[in-house]
Chain A
Amino acid sequence: MTDVLPRPVVHEEPDHEVVHEEHHARTGILNWMTSTDHKVIGMSYTVTSVIMMIIGGAFAEIIRAQLASPNGTLVSLAQYNELFTMHGSVMIYLFAGPFAFGGLANIIVPLQIGAPDMAFPRLNALSYWLYLFGSLTMLSGFFTAGGAANFGWVAYAPLSNSLNTPGSGADLWIGGLLLTGFSAIFTGVNLCATIFYLRAPGMTMFRMPIFTWNMLVTAILILLAFPVLTAGLIMLYCDRHFGTHIFSVAGGGVPVLWQHIFWFWGHPEVYILALPFFGMVTEIIAVFSRKPVFGYKGMIFATLSIAALSLGVWAHHMYTTGVVLLPFFAIMSLMIAVPTGIKMFNWIGTMWRGQIWFSTAMLMAVGFLITFLIGGLTGIFLASPPLDFFTHDTYFVVAHFHSIVMALVLGAFGGLYYWGPKITGYMLNETYGKIQFWFLFIGTQVFTIPGYILGLDGMPRRVAIYPHDPQWQTLNQISTLGAILIGISTIVFVANIAVSWKKHPAGDNPWDAHTLEWFTTSPPPHHNYYRLPQIRSERPTWDYNHPDHKTAGHGHHPQAHDEEVTVT
């Protein structure tokens, strides 16, 4: 057998009083602004991105209210274009990504691998401030004379040039996106460096929790994809202001080039958004089923193949341009279903023969599975070019990706309920949590399913009115009802925070969880750990707490494993 390192005791636990006073000395807004602690930065990210979600959600409610009648007059056509542009932009650029890789990953990844902080703490702080001011820049478009950006979140050229979209709202959109893009790139660098270099003794790559694995792959995808977007945005800005003609036909440019650049970032971005939530759900399902992740290594290879394939499918957003090679992008897009299916069956396999505890986090995870199943299956239709010709830019597509992103929102709340106690030290109220779950889950289905039918019936996306086809009204009203239910669920969540504010201390490990972060205190001390358990699997805390119930089966030899432990 391999030699086993002696137990890596990091520190003796210091006097609690000292720590306490030290923290008291540096509280206040100045402490928050100058902090380079990954937990403080991660918390800032989380709070900011949840506020962004509420702002984007408010836009969505206005959009749905407008669509509740065929001749809606709540907003003008121009305002409607601004609203759906900013809804998409806020949700994708300012909520989903930053919440995952800036918020939870920032807090959890160093904890899961036993690191004292991120590899570059000041770069991490810079990331947050770039993100915050990028967000404010983008949103400030609403206060300009011409209003916010109104060319859709994809900003297709040449609609986004200075002729078709004059006004500073569009420039603020580009500027804001550049800043948040740099923030994402820096976070990607930071995550890669942290995961590669700051793992605790014993934490080999194949002992990293799935969440950390997914964040590593996400970070690599960020590094591959975001610089392309940054370059594209600079080109777009030059086209608008410096007289370049990169995307304009008049000067010999190619409008479709923007779509290639945008989607070369945009499709990996879909997985940059999704993979972190896959990771959260994996952790939650394993912990609340009291079983290890089923097919742990298969899960990692599935993640890697999703990431690899995601770089070769961008043109499936462009089937109807008529200028892309259809069969290649069709087979690549269809193939992504395979690793995604592997993940789905691994999640089910993790629950199989477990002892499932239906806490709010677990309910959210199951809600994620079902919603993601619907969104994933409808995505397979869209991978087929003839079926995409038929549904492209209709509500079918809108419903498809809202099933996906609402699944991610379910995963996000699952992550908050699961890791909230670790981050804050206090439990969230479970009753409120379950009420929130049912509103969110039912609301999601009521909101998305009419969209599929409307799309098949020919309702195009991004239309503010549909007077020629008033029979679409009923389904639109059902969809609006779903959006209202989702809105209520968010209010319940905010109420939950208010109700459970510093009420029930969580303890170190309230869920009997598996991974390293549950070994330290809640909230963790500055630099995270006073001592570490032995890391001999991807579940060090579980192994420590349940030495008689180590992972069984393929590739593991419990007997020998036990002996190893007793040697030390």
Chain B
Amino acid sequence: MTCGPTFEYGREVELPALPPQGSTDRARRWRRIRRALVLPAAAVALSGCTLPNFGASKGVTTSSRSVYHLWQGFSVAAIIVGGFTLLLIIWAVFRYGRKSESIPKQSQYHLPLEWLYTVVPILIVFGLFAATLVVENKETANPKTNVTIDVLAFQWGWKFTYPGSNALVYGQTTQAPEMVMPVNTNVHINLRSSDVIHGFYVHAFNFSRYALPGVLNQFTIRAVNTGTFFGQCTQLCGLYHSLMWFRVKVVTPSQYQAWLAGYNNPTAASAARAAGTATKQQISSIVPSKRTTSKGDN
């Protein structure tokens, strides 16, 4: 979202002149309310060329980004509704403090008003629901993938295996085993648990899913950035729950293939270790680059 260049502060905010003689209390109050509402709105419009993140982060997957935008949308709605309601509360508290012993008008019903604050929230709720559905369908879709990773959670660690390959990463608690996956590729995750319920949560994915014993949980992620990201079990799983860590290492597809090949071909693996990181491209030319690791889960 970019700023329109034609926005003029002075035109939008009409600071009212002194009230004309004889204007009613009500008119004066309305003017005061209008000023109170217009000023912050203008401030937001001026500063809000791009929406703030409202505490969330974009993350590194396609769906983490749509979740982030949904988050922004919900935040804007919540701030408008919450700000309005808070203003009403504060206004009522400061305006209607006891000034005399007189008894105010004993009014109880105002049907149009009551209908208004019944119908408007329903409309807002359906708007939020529609936005939710769009993102949710995108996130839970299972597009065609050619990389599959089996994730097994256990007390208190993780095992990552790659069907069709000998690759296996295994680690407990603070060993934080690393799940290696290629960037810009739909990666299909088969999530299982061998004992109690665990939570597969990677903050950079803006996503979590339970690892349930006896249930195969499947989802697809597509990372758009490379890097190493921290993950942690989020569902209480016993004594060492606090330390049930893992990492996700997103690498380029060629690095990924090289890494996989390292497990299949001991010679290449030791060669890679000897050659160090500078020779990654060379290694990827040694091993076949078009491997299909999927077993056709989709």
Contact surface of A with B, Cβ cutoff 8 Å = 77-78, 80-81, 151-152, 156, 158-159, 164-165, 249, 254-256, 289-298, 320-323, 326-327, 330-331, 334-335, 337-338, 341-342, 344-346, 348-349, 351-358, 366, 369-370, 373-374, 377-378, 380-381, 384-387, 389-390, 392-394, 452-453, 456-458, 460-466, 468-469, 546, 549-556
Contacts and interface: CB of A to CB of B under 8 A. Distances in A.
B196 interface: yes
A290 B107 CA distance: 11
B109 A330 contact: no
Contacts of A334: 125, 128-129, 132
Contact of A552 (B55, B93, B108): B108
17 contacts: A78-B239, A159-B196, A164-B155, A291-B108, A331-B129, A334-B125, A335-B122, A335-B125, A349-B113, A385-B136, A389-B67, A390-B206, A392-B234, A456-B55, A458-B232, A465-B242, A553-B107
A255 B106 contact: no
A159 B237 contact: yes
Interface stretch (B35-43, B44-52, B97-105, B256-264): B97-105
A337 B121 contact: yes
A387 B103 CA distance: 47
Interface in B29-85: 55-57, 63-64, 66-67, 70-71, 74, 78, 81-82, 85
B184 to A, nearest CB: 22
B153 interface: no
A369 B93 CA distance: 11
B96 A353 contact: yes
B108 A293 contact: yes
- The 4 A-B pairs at the shortest CB distance, nearest first, are namely A458-B203, A554-B109, A249-B214, A393-B234
A290 B104 CA distance: 7
B208 A164 contact: no
Given A342-B114, A356-B96, A378-B78, 10 more contacts: A255-B213, A294-B108, A294-B110, A295-B109, A297-B109, A330-B132, A353-B107, A386-B135, A386-B139, A453-B55
Contacts of B109: 294-298, 553-555
Contact of B107 (A291, A323, A357, A452): A291
Contacts of B145: none
Contacts of B238: 81, 159, 164-165
Given A366-B89, A552-B107, A393 B235 contact: yes
- Pick the most buried of B63, B89, B109: most chain A CB atoms within 10 A of its CB: B109
Nearest to B139: A386
B21 interface: no
B85 A373 contact: yes
B74 A384 contact: yes
B269 interface: no
B56 A456 contact: yes
Contact of B210 (A165, A322, A466): A322
Interface of B: 55-57, 63-64, 66-67, 70-71, 74, 78, 81-82, 85-86, 88-89, 92-93, 96-111, 113-114, 117-118, 121-122, 125, 128-129, 131-133, 135-136, 139-140, 155, 195-197, 199, 201, 203, 206-210, 212-215, 217-219, 230, 232-243, 245
- Pick the most buried of B92, B139, B217: most chain A CB atoms within 10 A of its CB: B92
A353 B88 CA distance: 12
B132 A385 contact: yes
B74 A551 contact: no
B235 A156 contact: yes
A551 B106 contact: yes
B103 A290 contact: yes
Contacts of B132: 330, 334, 384-387
Contact of B206 (A293, A342, A351, A389): A389
A159 B197 contact: yes
Contacts, number: 269
B241 A291 contact: no
A353 B67 contact: no
A461 B100 CA distance: 50
A462 B241 contact: yes
A442 to B, nearest CB: 16
B78 A377 contact: yes
A468 B207 contact: no
A3 B82 CA distance: 47
A354 B96 contact: yes
A342 B117 contact: yes
Contacts of B233: 460
Contacts of A551: 106-108
A552 B106 CA distance: 5
Contacts of A292: 106-108
B212 A352 contact: no
Contacts of B113: 349
Nearest to B123: A338
- Pick the most buried of B57, B99, B110, B241: most chain A CB atoms within 10 A of its CB: B241
B212 A256 contact: yes
Nearest to A163: B195
- Pick the most buried of A159, A378, A555: most chain B CB atoms within 10 A of its CB: A159
B181 to A, nearest CB: 18
B81 to A, nearest CB: 7
A352 B57 CA distance: 40
A466 B241 CA distance: 11
Contacts of B118: 298, 338, 342
A19 B206 CA distance: 67
B157 to A, nearest CB: 15
A463 B238 CA distance: 10
B216 to A, nearest CB: 9
A327 B218 CA distance: 18
A358 B97 contact: yes
Given A393-B199, A553-B109, A151 B207 contact: no
A374 B82 CA distance: 8
Contacts of B235: 156, 393
Contacts of A289: 96, 104
A476 to B, nearest CB: 14
Contacts of B214: 249, 254-255
A461 B104 CA distance: 48
Contacts of B213: 158, 249, 255
A450 to B, nearest CB: 11
Contact of A77 (B105, B136, B240): B240
Given A291-B104, A291-B106, A384-B70, A320 B199 contact: yes
A326 B196 CA distance: 23
B108 A295 contact: yes
A71 to B, nearest CB: 11
Given A292-B106, A380-B74, A390 B236 contact: no
A549 B103 contact: yes
